[in-house]
Every structure is written in structure tokens, then in C-alpha cells.
A and B are shown apart, each in its own frame.
Chain A
């Protein structure tokens, strides 16, 4: 598996650390009810098709990436900087 980092180009999977579902970009406020935090921390859609995930380019540029991937085929559809996704989410 190779991931096409927007800053570094296509790199081997070994350079990246996998965080999981990209919902970390939507961190709840500290004072919301426990079930919202439970959903954020633990519950997952866990689809067998397309996922949006956070990967960290640990031994490359150290950027956090949002990778859209098909988890049944391991095909990678898009890779964007998490910074840009987060900025879009807030606008």
C-alpha cells in the first residue's frame, strides 16, 4: 500500500502511522453529554466500503492526512491535508 502524500508524493505505508476514523476532526465540546463523548471515542460506523481516516506521515513531513480508502480493496481514492479539511469544517 502506498499513500500519495500531498507534500511528499507517493510513499510506502511504513512511513505512516494510522490513527483511525477521521471523526477526530469533529471533537465535541468538553461540556456535552457523555453519550456524545462515547460516540466520539468508541462507536464506529465501521463500514466495509469507503472510509475517511486520519493517517500521520510520521517519517516524512509529519503532516496529518485525511485518506479516503476502500477497506474492502485497500484502494486509496484521495489524500488531503487534515489542516485543510479542518479549516473547511470550521468555515
Chain B
């Protein structure tokens, strides 16, 4: 079933009885050409592009819960390509281009909204860094505008320009950045993969990874053994437990990051605004809720909920930056489990076991990466070679020290990102 305006019209006039499930609910087969562990955004996108770009249709996605029930359904939906380092820059640029064609590609409304992202800066030094970042973005072929204080005031008049601690000097404006409907991205890729023949298997937890003579041979699951010559581990915050089944320890610590949404309000915040110095960023959903977040709670956690000090810190920063939001009422907060790497950048690579591939380390920036991560992971799993825009996301960069991707310039060490 394809979605179209005509279909909506005819269904609307005939009682909406003709809509069918978006994907099937198959039982696992005993053997596939490839299995993907993890039915989140990255896993589903990988399955979709393996089928679409590489012709792998005898593959399965194994999800221990339900599709899209992890971080892809728990994030703050920001899409951007404002990276500076070679390695990150071309990857996120590729991802943004995929976002721009995603709704046509998937025939699915992911509500991609290029409303613009503005990163505020608060000193001469930060302005220089923003100018350098903007130039790197333009050199990559993307867009960036350096706004001065008056330029920010013109488009964000509601900010507090009088604050003493972090006076607003200007902002880096990335017009093609914005937001998307997070659940719809998972659903769109799931539906697309299902239509291409991929088996999406839910309530199926992987309990073991089998290998023989250094080659992967399949997985053990709560729904039986499945043979496969290629296995992709795409488990985000749970990557450590999955990799342990293959005898690996990863350069990953799992931390909790909280996010918040207010009651629905009339449109008032038209962009994504980030206040890095205060640890706060915000946008407004199409439903009207103010969606915002800040920094990690800064301790290891798998609890999918955080503690009050981080809540207080984020809201203090928000009310400092835009006092008007102090009148809105918080509807709910939640936490996601972030797979934090030492340098803050991801890993898409082979492992020491032939046919076993790793995709993790997205830290708190995995959502915008979903299309390109899937694209590049599919390329790696199908061809056994890294895709050229993801070839620097190497697992061995921490041991060798070569090609570290420390985008924030804070050091390559756990607890610094």
C-alpha cells in the first residue's frame, strides 16, 4: 500500500477501512544471509539500505522489545550537519542530504522540518570558533550564516539579551537544520524494509553470538537459533552487552541523558536554539510542546530515567536564556541510554570476528545520523568495505591514537563528552 493524497481522500470518504498494517510479524527463519541485532533507527535503516542498495532481501532485524522503542523514540528529534572535523563533516553532510529526500524515498511522512538551527555564542573566542565551524560547513557544501547580536535579536527577539554571565554575542545559523518526527523515521524505515522483503522480528532477544574459526556463524535468540554469515551489532546503549556475547569489550560507557516536553502551546519558538554554555537546547514540536534538553546526568546508567539535579540545571539554563518559557508547565521528562565513546564520535567498523560488524558510539547525537548510519553500515555489511564517508569511524582509533574524532576538543577520554 502506497500513501498518496488520493488514497487519504478515498479512505476518508469510505470509512478508513482500507488501511493495512505497515509491516508483517513473521516468525524467524532458521537461516538468513544477514541478521541485524537491534530494531531501532540505525538497525532499521541498515536493513532498508541493505535491501534497497545492495539487493540483500533474505535478512532479518532482531529486536528484543518493539520496533523503535529505544532511543529513536526517546530523543529530541534534531537534524543538522554542522560538524567541523574531516570524518564527521562528510558523514553528517551525507546524512542531511538523505534526510532531504527521505519522505519521497520512503513514501512516508517523517515531518522533516528544515526550520533552522541556531547555535549561540557568548565571547570573542567562541565567535572565532563559530566562524571556523561555519566555514568548514560551507567548504563541505552545506550552509552556514554567522549572525551578530543584532542578527540573532531579529529572529529570536524573545531571548534575554541582558544576562551578564553569558551575554549573547551572536549565533551560527544553519538553515537546513531542523527537526523530524522521530517515531515516524523508525516506522518509515521499518515499512520500507518490510516491503523489500526484510523480516522484522520483535520480542526476539539475542542471547548468544556464534562463531567458528574466527568467522561468525549466527546467533542464539529467545526464539531459537538463527544462522547467518553476517551479523550487525546495532544496539546503542546496550552495545556493551551485545558485544560481550562475542567476547568483546568496547570503548563505550552507557550514560543517561534526559529530555523534557511542556504542555502544548501556540507557536512561539520557530527554530532549534542551542545554548551550549548553559547546557540547554530547545525546539517546539508540531503539536506545540516545547521539547528541550541539556547535558548528561554524568554518571553511568541504564535506568532510562535521571536525577533531579540535571532537571534543575537544564531548566535554570532555559529560563535564563528565554524567561518566557518559565510560565509553561512541564508535561513529562524521560531518559535515554547513550552509548558514549571516548572521543564523542561513533564507530562503524569490522570486528576481529569475520562477518561480525559493529555500529555504536553515537553518544547523544544518533538521531540525525540515522539515514547515513544505515546507508554506511549497509555498505559495510554488504561489501565488507567501509563506505567512504564513514571510513574514519574506526574501532582501533582509540588504541592507536590515529584519527581521533574529538569534535568538541575536550580530549579523548571517558567522562569528557
Judge whether B300 is part of the interface by a CB distance below 8 angstroms: yes
Judge whether A27 is part of the interface by a CB distance below 8 angstroms: no
Contact residues in B for A19 (Cβ distance below 8 Å) = 415
Question: Does A45 contact B303, Cβ atoms closer than 8 Å?
Answer: no
Question: Does B303 contact A43, Cβ atoms closer than 8 Å?
Answer: no
Contact residues in B for A20 (Cβ distance below 8 Å) = 253, 300, 414-415
The count of residues in chain B whose C-beta lies closer than 8 Å to any C-beta of chain A is 24
Contact with A along B299-329 (1 / 0, CB 8 A): 1111100010100000000000000000000
Set A44, A73, A74: member contacting B253, Cβ < 8 A? A44
Question: Does A45 contact B300, Cβ atoms closer than 8 Å?
Answer: no
Question: Does B342 contact A53, Cβ atoms closer than 8 Å?
Answer: no
Question: How near does chain B come to A5, taking the closest CB pair, in angstroms?
Answer: 16
Residue of A nearest to B396 (CB): A38
CA distance A12 to B342 in the complex (A): 27
Contact with B along A17-46 (1 / 0, CB 8 A): 011110000000000001100110111111
Set B238, B300, B309, B342: member contacting A41, Cβ < 8 A? B342
Tell me the interface secondary structure of chain A in the complex: mixed
Set B238, B251, B303, B309: member contacting A42, Cβ < 8 A? B251
Contact residues in B for A71 (Cβ distance below 8 Å) = 254, 300-303
Question: Does A13 contact B307, Cβ atoms closer than 8 Å?
Answer: yes
Contact residues in B for A1 (Cβ distance below 8 Å) = 307
Contact residues in B for A83 (Cβ distance below 8 Å) = none
Set A21, A41, A44, A74: member contacting B303, Cβ < 8 A? A74
Contact residues in A for B250 (Cβ distance below 8 Å) = 43-44, 46
CA distance A74 to B244 in the complex (A): 22
Contact residues in A for B254 (Cβ distance below 8 Å) = 46, 48, 71
Question: Does A73 contact B298, Cβ atoms closer than 8 Å?
Answer: no
CA distance A71 to B254 in the complex (A): 9
Judge whether B413 is part of the interface by a CB distance below 8 angstroms: yes
Contact residues in B for A46 (Cβ distance below 8 Å) = 240-241, 249-250, 252-254, 300
From A18, A39, A42, name the one whose CB has the most chain B CB atoms within 10 angstroms. A42
Question: How near does chain A come to B7, taking the closest CB pair, in angstroms?
Answer: 44
Question: Does A72 contact B399, Cβ atoms closer than 8 Å?
Answer: no
Question: How near does chain B come to A12, taking the closest CB pair, in angstroms?
Answer: 8
CA distance A12 to B13 in the complex (A): 60
**In chain B between 218 and 272, which residues have their CB closer than 8 angstroms to a CB of chain A?**
238, 240-241, 244, 249-254
Question: Does A18 contact B253, Cβ atoms closer than 8 Å?
Answer: no
Contact residues in A for B302 (Cβ distance below 8 Å) = 48, 71-72
Question: How near does chain A come to B238, taking the closest CB pair, in angstroms?
Answer: 7
Contact residues in A for B252 (Cβ distance below 8 Å) = 44, 46
Judge whether B23 is part of the interface by a CB distance below 8 angstroms: no
Question: How near does chain B come to A67, taking the closest CB pair, in angstroms?
Answer: 9
Contact residues in A for B241 (Cβ distance below 8 Å) = 46-48
Question: How near does chain B come to A14, taking the closest CB pair, in angstroms?
Answer: 5
CA distance A72 to B251 in the complex (A): 20
**In chain B between 277 and 316, which residues have their CB closer than 8 angstroms to a CB of chain A?**
298-303, 307, 309
CA distance A43 to B247 in the complex (A): 12
CA distance A43 to B303 in the complex (A): 21
Question: Does B303 contact A72, Cβ atoms closer than 8 Å?
Answer: yes
Question: Does B414 contact A44, Cβ atoms closer than 8 Å?
Answer: yes
Question: Does A42 contact B240, Cβ atoms closer than 8 Å?
Answer: no
CA distance A45 to B254 in the complex (A): 10
Question: How near does chain B come to A32, taking the closest CB pair, in angstroms?
Answer: 13
Question: Does A41 contact B413, Cβ atoms closer than 8 Å?
Answer: yes
CA distance A46 to B252 in the complex (A): 7
Judge whether B398 is part of the interface by a CB distance below 8 angstroms: yes
Question: Does B240 contact A44, Cβ atoms closer than 8 Å?
Answer: yes
CA distance A74 to B342 in the complex (A): 23
Set A35, A41, A74: member contacting B307, Cβ < 8 A? A74
Contact residues in A for B303 (Cβ distance below 8 Å) = 71-74
Give residues in B with beta carbon < 8 Å to A: 238, 240-241, 244, 249-254, 298-303, 307, 309, 342, 398-399, 413-415
Give residues in A with beta carbon < 8 Å to B: 1, 12-14, 18-21, 34-35, 38-39, 41-48, 51, 53, 71-74
Q: List 17 A-B contacts (CB under 8 A).
A: A12-B309, A19-B415, A21-B300, A34-B399, A38-B399, A41-B398, A42-B414, A44-B250, A44-B252, A45-B244, A46-B240, A46-B252, A46-B254, A48-B254, A53-B300, A71-B300, A72-B302
Give 5 nearest A-B pairs by CB, closest first: A46-B240, A42-B251, A38-B399, A43-B249, A42-B398
